[in-house]
Structure 1
Amino acid sequence: MALAEIVRFQDVYEADLAAAFLADRGIDVDVTERFQTTVDPLMQRALGLRLMAPSDQVEAARDLLARAARGEFADDQNDDDLPAADPTTRTVGRGLALILAATGAFWGNSLPRRLRPVHWIGVVLILAIGGVSIIAALAA
């Protein structure tokens, strides 16, 4: 049985999501060029990823994808129904991100040689600000 192209995607995640959607609805689908695009992500833009299906299922697959793009398969749940993020968690996460950003780029055995005294002052200030923000978030 000959395979024909259903659609072409530029992103491997979109292609996999569409393939899972079509497979759930009984369409035999295959994502091509997955190996090349995951080994070298720049190839995603150059090659694209094709969804392939047997020739007799191509029109049904295109129809399903068009209906999904129009939102026909969306449910009634709104994003407003989802629980809000805890502000304490967000503040602690920002503090940890500051600490990792300050030290992560220079981690390793060359840390003392790469940082001059001015850099060390900046690292200490960032660590202090991050620590204060974490303590303030935990105290609130």
Structure 2
Amino acid sequence: MSLAEIARFTDVYEADLAAAFLESHGIPVSVTERYQTTVDPLMQRALGIRLMAPESEIEQARALLAMARAGEFATDEGDDLDEDDGGTRTAGRLMAVAAFATGGFWGTSLPHRFRPVPWQGILVSSALLLTILGAAWGVGQLLLNPP
């Protein structure tokens, strides 16, 4: 029995969800490249995660996935997720700005000696240090020379 590709995904979780959906409809599915892409997540986009099934099941599997993408299996209940209050988004934005400012977005899987210098963190730290020193100098001047 030879396998053929049903679909290709760029996210291993989406591929696993599609595989579980197809298996719940009686189609045996194999998710390939799972282990290569979990070792280095950047490989997910490069390789893609393929869903493989027996050639006799390909058309039915593709039709089921197309129906799922079109929303034919959706219910009237809707999502069970709470409405976004805006605070979560604000906190996420603040964390993203802080990570960028300190060089957090530039992390790689390279060993420490090969990583680039986090210049953003150096700039932010230097600015903060200069601000603190300037404030301390100003307070010292006020204490030494009261008005």
- Normalising by the smaller structure, the TM-score range is 0.5 to 0.7
Q: Which amino acid aligns with 2:9?
A: F
Q: Which residue of 1 aligns with 2:136?
A: none
Kindly tell me: are residues 85 and 7 of structure 1, through their superposed partners in 2, closer, same or farther at Cα, counting changes over 3 Å?
A: closer
> How many aligned positions are there?
112
Report the Cα offset of residue 86 of structure 1: 7.7
Structure 2 CA distance for aligned equivalents of residues 52 and 58 of structure 1? 8
Provide the residue aligned with 2:110 in structure 1: none
Runs of 4+ in 1 over 4 A off after TM superposition: 81-87
TM-score by length of 1: 0.60
Structure 2 gaps of 5+ residues are 104-121, 132-147
- In the TM superposition, residue 77 of structure 1 has moved relative to its aligned partner by 1.3
- For normalisation by structure 2, the TM-score amounts to 0.58
Identical pairs, percent: 61
- Higher CA-based Rg: 2
Quote the Cα distance in structure 2 between the aligned partners of 1:9 and 1:85: 28
Aligned-residue RMSD, C-alpha: 3.5
- Residues 76 and 45 (structure 1 numbering): CA distance in 2 closer, same or farther, change over 3 Å? same
Quote the offset at 1:85 in angstroms: 6.5
Give the match's secondary structure for 2:58: helix
After superposition, the Cα gap between the structure-2 partners of 1:8 and 1:84, relative to the gap in structure 1 and judged at 3 Å, is closer
Specify which structure has the bigger relative contact order, considering alpha-carbon pairs within 8 angstroms and separated by 6 or more residues. Answer: 1
